[in-house]
Each structure stands twice: as C-alpha cells, then as structure tokens.
Structure 1
Amino acid sequence: MHKISIIIPIYNVEQYLPQCLDSVVTQTYPNLEIILVNDGSTDSCPQICEAYSEKDSRITVIHKQNGGLSDARNAGFNIATGDFISFVDSDDLLSPHFFQKLFQALTTHNADIAECEFKKFANEEEIKYFPDKAESSIKVFESEKMMEALFKGPLHVMVWNKLYKIALVRGKLFPVNRISEDVFWTYRIYGEAIKTVKINEELYFYRLRDDSIMGSRYSIKRLDSLDAYEEKIDYLKMKFPNLVQDVRKAYCFVLIDNYIQLRQHNEVDPDKFHRNIILEKIKSYNYWTELKKWRWKDLVWYKLFLWSPNGYASLRKYMDKKSKRLNVQK
C-alpha cells in the first residue's frame, strides 16, 4: 500500500490541536506518515504532540525554533518519505475519508494532484457530523485548462485541500518569511503537473479564526500577495501566455483591495508611500487595449475606483453586506 506523508505545522493552537490530530489518526486510509512540526510553540502544543506520538507509531514530531508556516512546512518536507504528500493546518479538521477518496481519485485517473471542496466553520457546532457521499462527482483537468481552472475556479490556490505525488513537489520549498505562501507556491506546482482531479465533495473543514494570520488586523505583510501576483504573471508569460490577461485583471483588483485596506488603516502606511506605488500600478491599466477585453461589470468597478476610491469602498461594502443577507435567507 502506498504511503501518504502528512505535514502539519503547529504553533500555539493547543485549543484546537487535539481535534485536528484526532481527525487525522482516524482516517480510513491507514498507511500514513504523520509529521508534526512544532514551530516553537509556547503553549502546551509540544506536550500534545509527544502524547500523540507515544500512542501512534505513524507520528513523527519535529521541535524547532519559530520560523513561520513556510519554514515549518519545509522542515517536514525534508524528512517526508511517502509516495504522496499532503498538508493540513493544525486548527482544521478532516472528513474520515479525506485521504481515501483523494488517493482513489488521483490513482484512478493517473493524476498528479487531487483536490476536494472544503467547508469553512467558526465552531464545531456547524459541523456536528461529517457528511459522506457514497459517490462523488470527479472532474479532470489537463494542461492549460488546469491552470485556467486554478485562476478562475473551480480549482483553489490553497495547499491544504489536496494530495500531491511526491515526485511533483519534491524540492519545491515554500518561500520563508512571506505570507500568502500558497499564492507563491501553488501555481508553480500546477504549472508542472500534467493532470489534476477535483472531487466535488466537502472533505476538508477550514476553521475561521480572528487571531489567524489572515484573520488578524491588516498589516504591511499583506502586500506579499502583490509580489506573488507579479511573479505569477511573469511565469505565465513564459509558459501560459493565453492566461496572462485574466490574471492581470485579477491582480488589478487585488491592488485596489490593498489600496482600500491601506486607506482604512492609515497607521500602517501613514506617509502614503505604499498607497502611491499601488495607485500608480492601478492607473497603468487605464488604456483601451487593456480594458477592452474586460467584462463590463469589471470595467465599471475599475472606473468607479479611479473616479472615487471612497465611493468604490462604500459600494463594495454595501454589496458584500447585501450578499451575506441573501445567503443567510437561503
């Protein structure tokens, strides 16, 4: 039976770690190598890791100085011995069939990557049980269609709802000291893959936390995602030029979102240094040969921002609230 290596970076999540590990060790696919990377936790996580390793011989624990999420994943990479590899965040939960179904889909279709749908939750009451479909629909993506699906959907950029062939990702380390590490890493992996399969079933459960990196107050580190987008565009120009236009448009709206965030958190950029740089990049899109390929809705939003950033931000906020109300009513 093929071995699956699972890398779980851990930092100060004592409240959630046992539930996460319980969902991993009870998987229906048994041949697992579970690598727990304690990234300098100052709470009881080191003791929790050791306790689980004593009960389950499949678990290996690494204790290291705090270096961040990417550094922890890389540390697990260095000792992984499986034929396939997966990443799990230490506050999330898995369906009991997560690895069984991903492995079956990947091997049946001779794919390089398998991914599933995921469900966001704030507390366990929202997922009292893990629904299991007897049969899940599977879609296959190849070559440029695979990359297009990654940027437009239904494939996702995050690394944790997937199973990879180890040969595909071996040696491809995550960027250290950057946030949005998934954005830096995933597109390069997909760019070298030949085939990906997508399971239309929620098998991964992603915990929403206010104190998480992306859930916390806006900081200048969020601008790392802009560097990731620029690197991605340069990469696509070389390997998938037909996709550059769509990704450039997406990047433009990421720039706009960060500009609005910096306006709302003036203390982060008091001298407007970053805002001015971002604004010039946004304005660089304002010519007809670029905009004529956009959908009219995107064009209207873009022009509204140029005319009135405050008006853009207010209308976006209103539309988001309206959308949330409609979703609740459903």
Structure 2
Amino acid sequence: MTATAGHRRIPDRLNSPLQRIAGRWESLLLGLALAIFVANSLASPYFLDAWNLSDATFNFTEKAMIAFPMALLIISGEIDLSVASIIALASTAMGAAVQFGAGTTEIVLIGLFVGLLCGAFNGLLVTRLGLPSIVVTIGTLSLFRGIAYIVLGDKAYTGYPAAFAWFGQGYVWWVFSFELVLFALLALAYGVLLHGTNFGRAVYAIGNNPTAALFSGIRVARVKFILFLMTGLMSGVAAVCLTSRLGSTRPSIAVGWELEIVTMVVLGGVSILGGSGSIPGVVIAAFVMGLVTFGFGLLNVPGIVMSIFVGLMLIGVIALPRLWARLAARRRA
C-alpha cells in the first residue's frame, strides 16, 4: 500500500477471485454450517443417519419458504411480522373447511387463498395508506392470531383427509421429502427472480433509494404490494405443509416463527436496513439454523435455550457488522 498526504490509498494489487469468494458472507456462513455439521456428528452417533438428516430438514423448510419472499421484502426496505399469524389463520380456515367435508384440493386452495388475502391486506395498508410496515404487521400479527383464537378457543381441528398428510409427511424419493424438494425449487425460483430479472433489480433499487427508483420509472408501490402478496402466499404454503405434518390445527400453531424467519433472513446477509442481500445466503442460513435446532434436539436441550440462542443470534448478526465498521474506521483514523 502506498499513499501520500491528501491522496486516497491505492492497493498495490487487486484481490484474487479466490480471496473475493473467501471474503463473502455466504462463504463464512458455509464454513459455519460445515463446522456445526461436524460438531453434531461428534456429539451424537445418531446424527449421520440418513433418515435422521432427512428429519432435520423439517426444522427449517417451512420457515425458509417464508424467508425467501421475506428477504426480498426486507431488501426493499419493508418487513412483515405477521407471517406466523397468517399461518395460524390459514390453518384455522383449512380446519374449518374440513369440518364441512372439504377434500384435499379444497383444503389446499383455501390455505393458499387465505395467505394471499392476508398479504394483500398488509400490502394495501402499507402501499395505499402509507403506513409503516412494521407497525401495520405488528397490528395484523395480533389481528390474525386473535381471529384464530376466537374461532377455536382452546379446541383443535382434526380429521384431515389421509391424502392431505402427504404434503407434510410424504417423500418424493428415498429420504427426500416433498417439503425438501419444494424448498429447493423455491430457492431456485427466488434466486432467479432476485438475481436474474428486472423485478429483482427493481427490489434492490427501491431498497437503496425509493425516491430515486420512483423517478427512474419503477412503480415502487406496485413492487412492494407484490412482495407483500408473495410473503402472504408463501405463508399459506407453509401453513399447508405445517398443518399436514402435524395433522391438526390449534390457534397457537407456529407461535414465535416470525422471530426465527427474520433471524434466518438477517443471518443470510440481508441488511435489515434494506438494499442488499442474496438468496444463497438465506439458503445457507436456513441450513445453519436447522442444524443447530436438530443438534440441540439430539442433545435434549430445552426449547427455551433455542429461543435464547435465536434471540442472541439476531442481536449479534445485526450488531457485529456495525461494531466491525467502527473498528475499521478507528484503524483508518
């Protein structure tokens, strides 16, 4: 490095492609995932069993389905904290339909429609009335969950058709469950959408500067409304899979998932302030959280410990980049 007074410091040579890849957040996450995998395999002799590893994927696939559109929403500068409550309301609607004799196809369509409707409701409040998304979705978090409690109380809906169980318990081939295959397909679809289309570039532009994006011809409100629709729809998909896997509906279903989903997104490298992030990072973060959860389960660690861990992880992921930037600024000074 050479520098003179009043001149910017210029490196003697550029970083190699390998150095740039190694310095990416996704590479660090991948290393963390491998370390957790090795630690779990050493901690429990049952971890490396193929069927146990397949069961481990159920710890994150349903949450990751929502994390993909949530990542786009946060990149655009918005957030949806009502996703877990949308799952509860969609599951309640599906359970109520079963009581009236609905078949598997009708149940699935009702779950997807309720999720889409909730997403549209959130999107309209944010894009049409100009309300802050965090305030709106905190309100609808209570609203949607409250409706589920009013309908069910302390009861539960059961009696789902046998064919409906395949969505949450079925396997496409060998140890590859339907949920895992769906997770992979959605990861590919959202990766292409965000990183390979004009819509994805519009999402990044809005997150970096919504005013500039608007003056450049991007329909900011329309893009954000679509993102809320996508988040609601994927919450409906997760409701179908989760209800199918559990075989019943209670108003407390998916309680606390919003924290884990946001943590998954932020851990994946998506800036909570918007404007940056990637789908591959979210995919790796999903595996990291799934491996940690499954490892704790094998070691009989209480669930409250996992909640504490998730909370600390969220705080740490948000705080560490800022602390690192301050340290770097002091070194430069």
TM-score after normalising by structure 1: 0.26
**Bigger helix share:** 2
**Bigger strand share:** 1
TM-score after normalising by structure 2: 0.25
